[in-house]
Amino acid sequence: MFPLDFPLRILEKKAKPGESVLDPFCGRGTTNFAARILGLFSLGVDSNPVAVAITEAKLVNARAENIVKEAETILHEVQVDALPEGEFWQWAYHPTVLTSLCKWRKALLEDCHSMERKALRGIILGALHGPQPKYSASYFSNQCPRTYAPKPRYALNFWKKHKLHPKPVDVIEIVRKRAERFYAYQHESIGEVKLGDSRQLETLRPKNTNIKFHWVITSPPYYGMRTYLADQWLRLWFLGGPPWVEYRAINQFCHQNPHDFVKDLTTVWNHVASLCDRQANMVIRFGGIPARKINHLDLIHESLKDTPWQIINILPAGSAADGLRQANSFLRQKTQAQIEHDIWAKLK
Ligand SMILES: C[S@@+](CC[C@H](N)C(=O)[O-])C[C@H]1O[C@@H](n2cnc3c(N)ncnc32)[C@H](O)[C@@H]1O
């Protein structure tokens, strides 16, 4: 996940009014949100339903008080017959919290069409798991990493060892605080987000097919990072998935070998080029993971070789480990990320 500052700085400095932005691997919609702040049209695409639901929430127009009202109405009106079973669920959430989550899950699976419900779904996904602060709670779960869901066996051992029991947090207060923070001021939303595979050209086409993109700001999957879906198993459960970790990778990139991975990237860069304005710029934030001893810049060079894109600059972007402090507090082994780069390209 890259910080908002990254796409915002680029677009603020360089984009002209009326230009359009594409992110073919939008993740949590950071690029789309930056475009929205600046009043630019954007399209985000991702094959992970969690990414799409969160991006969608960043693109709706909703008022904080209406989102909270919707959350309260669901809790009053919806009944649930059963909660997910097993020790993990007993330790992950206090029973009253889990009941509220199940009510929201049921209601939002039945109907998530209104702006308020889309916003509420994004807020709940964001608050589903994370660290427990000393004072007022910001997350529904017992102590957890925020960016990824822990594997049940490891989490159980951790909670039991540290005698950490789930707390009966005020779920509406958590929703209210987040709604007030995220929907405090309104920028008109002119963005679009699609669930799909960016290797398919059709997926990358906006509804208005006359639109040509002037900016592509994106961060593709890092080679060897195969857990984008498994790491989000709790959020996928909230979106209708099973209450256990699933190791499937539908519509995700091929990580078997560098050759196939590069081929996937090339396909996307070619599709993207065909939807861009002649003067378009593309900025790719890319890095590697220590487990794969391969230079990520070699992969990017190779992926752009047989495409209409020409690299014009490569800048170091710091290390992905800079943002990993909170996740590390839950891990036995400290995570180390390789250095990342921003690769700037233009159409030839
Ligand atoms: C490095 S992350 C993007 C992070 C994003 N920049 C952010 O700030 O949240 C890469 C994303 O690519 C998505 N992805 C992987 N394979 C894909 C495919 N074939 N089509 C579309 N998205 C894909 C993953 O689900 C993941 O969300």
Structure tokens at 314: 């490569």
Q: Any idea what DSSP says for residue 143? A: B
Is the CB of residue 194 less than 8 Å from the CB of residue 44? Answer: yes
Say if residue 269 is in the same domain as residue 133: no
The pLDDT of residue 288: 87
Say if residue 127 is in the same domain as residue 268: no
Q: At what angle do helices 95-110 and 115-127 cross, to 10 degrees?
A: 140
What is the count of structural domains for the chain? 2
The reply to whether ligand 1 has any atom less than 6 angstroms from the CB of 197 is yes
Question: Considering the domain boundaries, does residue 232 fall inside one?
Answer: no
pLDDT band at 338 (very low <50, low <70, confident <90, very high): low
Per-residue pLDDT at 227 exceeds 80: no
Mutate to test the pocket of ligand 1, among 252, 263, 265, 296 (most ligand atoms within 8 A of CB): 252
H-helix or E-strand spanning residue 134: none
The pLDDT of residue 164: 96
pLDDT band at 333 (very low <50, low <70, confident <90, very high): very low
Is the CB of residue 282 less than 8 Å from the CB of residue 216? Answer: yes
From the CA of 87, how far away is ligand 1's center (Å)? 32
CA 65 – CA 277 distance, rounded (Å): 40
Q: Which of 160, 182, 204 is the last residue of a domain?
A: 182
Which of 14-18, 60-64, 272-276, 316-320 shows the lowest per-residue confidence on average (mean pLDDT)?
Answer: 316-320
The reply to whether ligand 1 has any atom less than 6 angstroms from the CB of 42 is no
Say if residue 196 is in the same domain as residue 261: yes
Percent of the chain with pLDDT over 90: 82
CA 149 – CA 126 distance, rounded (Å): 12
Range of the domain at 85: 64-182
CA 299 – CA 317 distance, rounded (Å): 17
Percent of the chain with pLDDT over 70: 94
- β-bridge pairing 276-286 and 339-347: antiparallel
Report the pLDDT averaged over residues 176-202.
91
CATH code for the domain of 290: 3.40.50.150
Kindly calculate the radius of gyration of the chain based on its CA atoms and give it in whole angstroms.
20
Per-residue pLDDT tens over the stretch 82-131: 999 999 999 999 999 999 999 999 999 999 999 999 999 999 999 999 99
CA 232 – CA 189 distance, rounded (Å): 27
CA 12 – CA 35 distance, rounded (Å): 9
Say if residue 127 is in the same domain as residue 215: no
Say if residue 306 is in the same domain as residue 192: yes
Closest CA to ligand 1's atom 21: 46
Question: Considering the domain boundaries, does residue 242 fall inside one?
Answer: no
What are the start-end ranges of the H helices in 38-168?
49-59, 64-77, 87-92, 95-110, 115-127, 152-161
CA 58 – CA 34 distance, rounded (Å): 10
The reply to whether ligand 1 has any atom less than 6 angstroms from the CB of 340 is no
Question: Considering the domain boundaries, does residue 245 fall inside one?
Answer: no
pLDDT band at 250 (very low <50, low <70, confident <90, very high): confident
Question: Considering the domain boundaries, does residue 265 fall inside one?
Answer: yes
Per-residue pLDDT at 335 exceeds 80: no
Per-residue pLDDT at 322 exceeds 70: no
Which of 4-8, 199-203, 249-253 shows the lowest per-residue confidence on average (mean pLDDT)?
Answer: 249-253
The reply to whether ligand 1 has any atom less than 6 angstroms from the CB of 252 is yes
Question: Considering the domain boundaries, does residue 204 fall inside one?
Answer: yes
Per-residue pLDDT at 306 exceeds 60: yes
Say if residue 152 is in the same domain as residue 259: no
Per-residue pLDDT at 249 exceeds 80: no
Beta bridge partners, 319, equal 339
